[in-house]
Structure 1
Amino acid sequence: MRRYFFDQREGDEMIPDEQGIDLVSLEAMQHEATLALALLARDEVRRCTIDAPARRLAINVRDEGGPVLRATFTFEIRRFQ
């Protein structure tokens, strides 16, 4: 098992994961990163207002050796009428 850390990035703000999670495989780590990003996006979309600047969210995954994976999500709401 390997310990992975899932740091959150919202725009320019970074929230480091100090605890990490022990996972059995790269596939399990990727699945966990996908779920974490989906939850982060869900919460952020609820706060989004019309014509707000585009938002970029990311989950940066690292292990004791350094970066392993980055999952990103960008969204924007624009009304034309």
Structure 2
Amino acid sequence: MAIYYFDLRDGDEIVPDEEGLELQDLLAVQEEAARALAGLSWDAVRNFKGMQSRKMSIEVRDAHGPVMQVRFVFDIVRRQ
């Protein structure tokens, strides 16, 4: 098991994870990152007004560096 850090990137802003989580393998890391991003995305989508675009990601790292990135992009384009 290793400790993984899940840093949130929202547009140009990044919020580093200072605590991390101890997880078994990369599949568990992927599931945790996807679950966390889904929750954050839900909140972001509920606050959309008009035509907007939103890009968010969770950038996962361990003691050796980057491990994976899970991204979410949401666009609203009104035609009328």
Q: Same fold (TM over 0.5)?
A: yes
Superposed displacement of residue 56, structure 1: 0.5
Do structure 1's residue 34 and structure 2's residue 1 form an aligned pair? Answer: no
Do structure 1's residue 47 and structure 2's residue 47 form an aligned pair? Answer: yes
RMSD: 0.7
2:65 matched residue in structure 1: 66
Q: Deviations over 1:5-64 (max 9, x none)?
A: 000010001000000000011110110011011011101101111112x11000000000
Gaps of 5+ in 2: none
Runs of 4+ in 1 over 2 A off after TM superposition: none
May I ask how many residue pairs the two structures share in their alignment? 80
> TM-score scaled by structure 2?
0.96
CA distance in 1, matches of 2:43, 2:9: 13
**Percent of paired sites with the same residue:** 47
1:25 matched residue in structure 2: 25
2:13 matched residue in structure 1: 13
Superposed displacement of residue 78, structure 1: 1.4
CA distance in 2, matches of 1:76, 1:26: 29
2:76 matched residue in structure 1: 77
Gaps of 5+ in 1: none
> TM-score scaled by structure 1?
0.95
